[in-house]
Structure 1
Amino acid sequence: MKISVDQVYTSVACNRAPETADWNNEGLICFGASNAVVIYDTNAKGKDPLTVLSHHKSKVNSVKWLLKPNQTCTELLSCSADKSAAVWTLEKESWKVTSNLVEHKDGVTCIHGAYVDENNLLVYTGSIDSSICVWERMDYTTTLKQKINLQSGLALTIHSCILPSANQPILFCALDDHKVHIFVEQNDHQYHRVHMLAGHEDWVRGLDVVNVDNDTLMLASASQDTYIRLWKIQHYEDKPVTGIKVEEKMFDAYSVKLSVKLDAVLAGHEGWVYGVQWQKILNNETNQPTYRLLSSSLDKTLIIWQPESHGGAWVESVRVGEVGGNGLGFYGSRFGPGPGAFLGHGYNGSLHIWKYDKELNQWQPSVVIGGHFSEVEDIRWEREGRYLVSVSLDQTTRLHAPWLRADGRGIQWHEIARPQVHGYDMASIALVSPTVFVSAAEEKVLRVFQAPHNFTQNFKSITGKPLVGDDVKGPEGASVPSLGLSNKAVFNDDDRAVADGDNDGYFVPIQLNEPPTEETLMQNTLWPEVNKLYGHGYEVYCVDASSDGALVASACKATTAEHAAVLIWETKTWQQIQKLISHQLTITQLAFSPDSQKLLSVSRDRRWTLYQRAEGSNSFDIAASTDKKNGVHTRIIWCCAWAYDSSVFGTGSRDGKVCVWSKAETISDSSLKDYSLLGKPLELANSVTALAFAPLESDVRIVAVGVDSGVIRLYQFDLTWSLLHELVNSMAHHLTVKRLFFRPRQPDEGETNKEMSLASCGSDNFVRICKL
């Protein structure tokens, strides 16, 4: 059996650090996502625009495009907390690491590079070990040229450029003494400090340089003291000045005397300013260049600054961002290709792109990819596979669905709603019906949510498929009161005055024909909470719902048999109807069989238990379980899964074994009763953390196995195991795979369709869907 795999959807947030995103003139955005570098093609339509490059072993701190002198862009730099940096080169349509820069004794925090000519490259890396390394690449070999020791200083950001007059490099480095230090190469071919720019009263977090002409550089420095300073560096001319003289300092570089003077101080931000970037625009008629400066700040705004007239004062020409709301500010910003677009990346790992609308003469936020900014704990498909929900330690529940593009460019998956923004880390989720879900977080209660009317309308207009009939009415939307944690329902105007006198939520119903922007997702796509389920003594850890929608099972963290019980809830009344005691320690996963007649639980106590539903009722009895003698697994059982026909189930554990169990002909005396191991267990070197059976009717079973190295393997199980395909780190995950689920077969699909979709989520913040 041959399997081919295509990537359908990748969802992840940008790392929460300054300078982790960059946009080049070909429309490609690169950003660091956990330990991977992701390339986002903003021109791609109707397919997954993300390419994941997995190489670093720890969090990526900064990424930068390298612009060649001829304005093309085929290389990028990345640096990581794993003490290394890398140069990536585009070779034959794929990105490869061409130089691995390893020298620092601690995490590398900032990086910058400049081409001396077509291929020769200088790269500067700054690290928490108080040093800056200078790397030189000549004729495709990279060597460490120098290690600049900063004594006890810390490089916060570095920027390099080639001095136009001398065609030699100059390095600007912002240290933790609030000053910008300037280094140039001297006669001994070593870098020495030649000058310090003082003036800022707090750390400088952003630097950028633009060549104004052959003799002049403009340096912009952005600082946590909320100001941006513009410095003019030019050839020193000793000529008499009448009137007020601007203070200027001199230094020597490459046998030329240069002068530095403060050109302007830009005050407009109210919070720390993290990023600055210059943009040079040529006027079509006069061919005169004009300069713009983009800055981003933690005060939730991005500003574009422009001089009023030639040589006039610098003023804000554009200010975008959010006023109010519960978000935090921006970590960085970049200009896009051409003057009509720019990007900001926010505190919540979200990317924001604004595009200039000529007709309306204003900047509009546009649709952009996004995702979780912390480990994704659980995912679930809607019963007919119309959407996927995910929950994460970033305290949000997100809903992903296929967006049917209006321009006829096909289907593209997108996050279209954020039903729950919580104050606790999310742990698990279960879908009861297409419009109701139950979620568990690091608290003792389970919360039940119901889709509002506004969501069902927008879902239909974005995906082209209705979720429910048009006659179903419910609340219009939901909002969170200022001091509350629960999502309160918001009704139409006529009921609103009665229901809630002090309505201080922010919900505004909106009609969407394309996926919502981050601003909308944060407050306008919440689902109202309809119930809380009390009964657990500790934080709820896992939850599952039966496919007939009648029952929900949940379990919490536990160290005793009493707390390790499974609670069964009836969804009609939301009452607890049963408490099933079997395990000693925390239950790690619960799974109802597809025919809703059996319930399986696996636990940290290395045992599994199977419960059978009594005929015609909703109560369960223990049908079989394992003990120390017959358990096969010698470590925690992390995961379990049912086959499509409910006849066999699999368990996977930390000892690297995957076992498949089924009903036997004979009844044994042990705790297994009439169940036994089917075939041989699969033995792997890594801990098995996720498991799923493909929805196929045939006797041949296809099993997806996720391990803690982030790899997903597809096996064919026929009493023996044979590997069909392996999804490597850049196609799957680069940290623990948390959950795997095959998309349920659509009712209108024939048996002949061999295509399946597999969804996965992991500790690397990714949610991914691939087609098999």
Structure 2
Amino acid sequence: MLQISTEYLAVGANGHPSVADWDESGILAFGADQNVALWRPQDENLRGIFQLLRGHENIVNAVKFIPGSSGVVITGSADKNLVIWRKNAHTGHYENSQQLHTQEKENHQNSINCLAVSGDGKIFASGSADSIVKIWSLDAENKAGLQQTIEIKPRFFPLALALSPLTGSPGSYILAVAGTKDIIQLYVLDPETSNQFKLQATLAGHEGWIRSLEFTRENEDSDSDLLLSSASQDKYIRLWRVHQGKELPAAAASADPTLGAFMPGKSLSNKAHRFSAQGLAFSATFEALLLGHEDWIYSTRWRRGDGRLQLLSTSADNSLAMWESDPSTGVWVIMTRLGEISSEKGSTTATGSTGGFWTGLWSPSGQTVTALGRTGSWRLWNFDKQKERWIQGIGVSGHTQAITGISWSKGGDYLLSTSSDQTTRLHARWKRGQQTSWHEMARPQIHGYDLNCIDSLGDSQFVSGADEKLMRVFSQPRAVANLLTKLCGIQGFQVDEMPDAANMPVLGLSNKAIEAVDDDTEILPPANDRDHNAIDPASVVHKSTLDLDQPTSEEHLSRHTLWPEVEKLYGHGYEISTLAASHDGSIIATACKASSIDHAVIRLFETKTWLEIKPPLKQHSLTITRLRFSSDDSHLLSVGRDRQWAVFERSTEDKTIYKLAYGNPKGHTRMILDAAWGPNTSSFFATAGRDKKINFWAKDNTGFHCRSTITETAPVTAIDFVGRKITDDVAYIAAGSETGFVAIHALNINNGFAAQMLGVYLPSSYPNPTKAVTQLAWKPVNEKDKDEDGNLNMELAIASEDCSLRVYSYKPRLPES
């Protein structure tokens, strides 16, 4: 039996203003593809994402915690479903508590885009792209039941909801609904007249779609007015007041003409919208217009602390703003602005702008704020009371599209991943005393095409392939090498031979090496437009910028951790499908997508001159899906969609020459998706295919023959062997399927290759990906990876189409007595 523990979870957040919420318990939950990721931003150990919840079948758009519920969270998805999650009292892990299925006619018929929960935690609302808002009641155990269905008229898609008890009217609620129109509808539930929400007012004034709504009380007094914030694509925030009483609030009663002074040519309506509940009179009036953002505003969040009311807003202009009302004038002004400073906007590199923020969140204490950027990464700021300023902390990041390839460095010190989101990322352990935590340490490649495959060339170089029909080779810059040495304890880099850093020209995809300058070096702008040799000040990097004492921020990752490109490898006519580097780093084997014999070839490149070794290797007739070198590089294994495998043998006279030695045109009954050589051998290998089988092939005097087969319950999309035998007879192989399931099998080599699935001891449900596993990679095994009893502590990296990168450790566990 093996005991599994989670070392690292990395995934990017979905781009939606309603995608995240921060609970009073300190947990931040956000939608990540069709999973829900849980993170404690204020965790002193900086563990990052600690759990991924599976239960949805499409993108998660909306996340809300129920106030006062000990962390119960509601999520809504493009799969039309709502799921309620709660923490298991025994394991401490979150589990699916209730799923509201779409098979019932009463549920949503389209993507759920927004949620709102009342402050007393008794009811919540969900809004969907079917122009429907549904009201749900919550019982004492937080089980949901449908109470009402509201068809929005005039028809528009709800993108934002806000829900609150009405001041001074117990049992009454007010619901604000807005979205793909420039109006806000107010619905009121009056228990004396009906148990249904009814439309009572329509607030006009915005001139674009409204993306965020949120209620708060003006002060701690239970009878205080409600304030509603609305954020719009018209670049403005509007505040609205819901007042109890027949007399209008002072601002509305005065009809101050100066309200419109900030917007030349526009008048701000002071119309009072009156309604009643339980015999009490209420009014909804315009309160204030907040100007300060330069682009669409996606979210607003209220916070009351230290006797003052604050509003946090996030915008596509790359900034977060913290607003407060001036005590003397009542005018709302920006007290603090965070994000990208104006000089960084419009940077000449293709990585200059991160595209703004989808949403921002206050911590329960108000001493930390987080913001979700367009790249799917979270940024974090902590308030330093001594310095009286916000200091950027360590957020979390991850891929936002399917991860297509992973590769450990040859020494196993760090992990590279590449994705359809057009980035390559480097992940490593940050070591500080007795504490360690995984982080994204560098982003070597930001590309213009979807990336499909990657492999390491030693410890400071890698090669990647993309849809652009060529491969690119990258070398590590001094800045990243110093960072990995300083933070991760990785030694052995030849930093004297490295350039300082790299950047990317605006009109190119090739990272260029650059040298950093001293902080006191003055960079003069070009004398005129014809001075082509002048240095662009925006491309200059100062040495102090590259000297960090903690993992990098999102801005730093995208601007200052690129790796310079050293070579391009041409030859293929279609998108690159797979590649592999020999273990000694001397040969790169590549293949591309193909529908004919002419293109289904393997091209070899040697890494001294980067020239192709001709002729290419021919055997397949369709796309080659995987290439693998044996541990001693004496054999090259290829498998493809044409259901066959081929083994090419290296010439003893010229180590750059490989020739076909063995082949099997009927290796599987359906396409073969992956293959792996046994540990430290070229005498047996495994293949896996869409026929749900893993076949083990062993060599004798006549060639390779199938010795045994494992049948899985779903197509097998990825396999990999642990790098050394566990005992003299036993090897471990990991297998990942199209459904996301990962199994570990023990293979008895000297007993007819008999295989047995190993039991896995888990303190919680098995944390499988929710979509197909795209690649598995065991960390290279070293002597330092053995425990006191001599058992291997094995680490498996798992890449998936659900955008998640996972690293799990496996070690033997003695049976309980």
TM-score range for the pair, normalised by the shorter chain length: over 0.9
CA contact (8 A) 2:48 2:396 kept: no
Retained in 2: the 8 A contact 1:108–1:127?
yes
Map of 1:759-770 to 2, 5 A cutoff? 759-770=797-808
1:15-164 matches, cutoff 5 A: 15-42=14-41, 43=43, 45=45, 47=47, 49-68=49-68, 73-92=70-89, 93-102=92-101, 103-114=107-118, 116=120, 121-140=122-141, 141-151=143-153, 152-164=155-167
Please report how far the alpha carbon of residue 184 of structure 1 lies from its aligned counterpart in structure 2 after TM superposition. 1.4
Distance 2:603 2:109 in 1: 51
**Residue 341 of structure 2 corresponds to residue 308 of structure 1:** no
- Pairwise mapping of residues 335-484 of structure 1 onto structure 2 (< 5 A)? 335-405=362-432, 408-469=433-494, 472-484=496-508
Residues 480 and 505, structure 1, Cα contact 8 Å, conserved in 2: no
Q: Please report how far the alpha carbon of residue 46 of structure 1 lies from its aligned counterpart in structure 2 after TM superposition.
A: 6.2
1:264 aligns with 2:301: no
Letter in 1 for 2:574: Y
Instruction: State yes or no: 1:686 paired with 2:714.
Output: yes
- How many Å separate the matches in 2 of 1:523 and 1:240? 50
Q: Is the 8 A contact 2:745 2:755 kept in 1?
A: yes
> Equivalent residue for 1:581?
618
Task: Please list the CA deviations of residues 403-449 of structure 1 after superposition, one character each: whole Å capped at 9, or x if unmatched.
Answer: 013xx351101100001111111111111111111111111221111
- Contact (CA 8 Å) 1:236, 1:250: kept in 2 or not? no
CA displacement, residues 235-261 of structure 1 (integer Å, 9 cap, x when unaligned): 133389896565422122332111122
Q: Which runs of 5+ in 1 are unaligned?
A: 283-288, 668-673
Distance 2:641 2:541 in 1: 42
Partner of 1:285: none
Aligned counterparts of 2:255 and 2:140: Cα–Cα separation in 1: 51
Structure 2 CA distance, aligned partners of 1:298 and 1:122?
A: 32
Unmatched segments (≥5 aa) in structure 2 = 102-106, 257-269, 346-351, 525-530, 811-817
Q: What displacement does 1:39 show?
A: 0.8
CA 1:400–1:608 in 2, change beyond 3 Å: closer, same or farther?
A: same
**Alignment map for 1:483-632 (pairs within 5 Å):** 483-493=507-517, 501-503=534-536, 505=539, 507-509=541-543, 510-578=546-614, 579-617=616-654, 618-628=656-666, 631=667
After superposition, give the CA deviation of every residue in 1:4-58 in whole Å (9 maximum; x if it has no partner): 0000000101111111122223321111111111110221516464211111111
| Partner-residue secondary structure (3-state), 2:691 | coil
Q: Does 1:702 align with 2:720?
A: no
Aligned equivalent of 1:169, options 173, 186, 205: 173
Q: Quick one: which amino acid aligns to residue 663 of structure 2? A: S
Match of residue 224 from structure 1: 233
CA-to-partner distance for each residue in 1:179-222, whole Å, 9 max, x for gaps?
A: 11111124231111111111111111101111123141011111
For 2:661, give the aligned amino acid. Answer: A
With over 3 angstroms needed to count, the CA separation of the structure-2 counterparts of 1:372 and 1:499, relative to structure 1, is: farther
Call closer, same or farther: CA 1:729–1:488 in 2, change over 3 Å: farther
Of residues 135-144 and 268-277 in structure 1, the stretch that sits farther from structure 2 once superposed is: 135-144
Judged with a 3 Å threshold, the aligned counterparts in structure 2 of structure 1 residues 392 and 583 are, in CA distance, closer, same or farther, namely: same
Distance between the aligned counterparts of 1:131 and 1:320, measured in 2?
36
Residues 67-100 of structure 1: CA deviation (Å, up to 9, x unaligned): 12xxx64211100111111121223122223232
Within 5 Å, give how 1:180-329 maps onto structure 2.
180-186=184-190, 187-212=193-218, 213=221, 214-238=223-247, 244=255, 247-282=271-306, 289-309=307-327, 312-322=330-340, 323=342, 324=345, 325-329=352-356
- TM-score relative to the length of structure 1: 0.93
| 1:31 partner amino acid | F
SS at match of 1:238: coil
Report the secondary structure of 1:4's partner residue: strand
Contact 1:46–1:409 under 8 Å retained in 2: no
Q: Which amino acid aligns with 2:135?
A: V
Cα distance in 2 between the residues matched to 1:485 and 1:266: 40
Offset at residue 458 of structure 1 (A): 1.2
Which residue of structure 1 aligns with residue 261 of structure 2? none
Structure 2: distance between partners of 1:249 and 1:46: 49
SS in 1 for 2:497: coil
Q: Equivalents in 2 of 1:340, 1:110: separation in Å? A: 27
Answer with 42-51 or 267-276: which moved more: 42-51
Counterpart residue type for residue 546 of structure 1: S
Question: How many corresponding residue pairs?
Answer: 745
Q: CA deviation at 1:508?
A: 4.2
User: Separation in 1 of the partners of 2:732 and 2:613?
Assistant: 36
CA apart distance, 1:692:
0.8
**Residues 708-728 of structure 1, C-alpha deviations (whole Å, 9 max, x = no match):** 111101111232322113699
Return closer, same or farther for 1:377/1:208 CA change in 2, 3 Å cut-off. same
Query: In 2 relative to 1, CA 303–707 (structure 1 residues): closer, same or farther, beyond 3 Å?
Result: same
**1:507/1:523 contact within 8 Å kept:** no
* 2-structure distance, mates of 1:12, 1:177: 33
Q: CA separation in 1, counterparts of 2:541 and 2:471?
A: 24
Q: CA RMSD in A?
A: 2.3
Contact 2:18 2:115 in 1 (8 A): no
Aligned residue in 2 for 1:670: none
8 A Cα contact 1:175 1:181, kept in partner:
no
SS at match of 1:615: coil
State the alpha-carbon separation in 2 of the partners of residues 169 and 349 from structure 1.
35
TM-score normalised by length of structure 2: 0.88
Q: Distance in 2 between matches of 1:749 and 1:137?
A: 50
Quick check: 1:732 aligned with 2:750? no
Give SS of 1:433's match. Answer: coil
Give secondary structure in 1 for the equivalent of 2:758.
Answer: strand
Counterparts of 1:176 and 1:750 in 2: how far apart (Å)?
58
- Determine the C-alpha separation between the residues in 2 that align with 1:450 and 1:499: 27
Structure-2 residue corresponding to 1:676? 705
State whether residues 444 and 537 of structure 1, in contact with CA within 8 Å, keep that contact through their aligned partners in structure 2: yes
In the TM superposition, residue 480 of structure 1 has moved relative to its aligned partner by 0.8
Contact 1:715 1:725 in 2 (8 A): no
Deviates most, 705-714 or 724-733: 724-733
Q: CA deviation at 1:142?
A: 2.9
Q: SS of the residue aligned with 1:542? A: strand
- The verdict on how the C-alpha distance between 1:227 and 1:428 changes in structure 2, with shifts beyond 3 A counting, is same
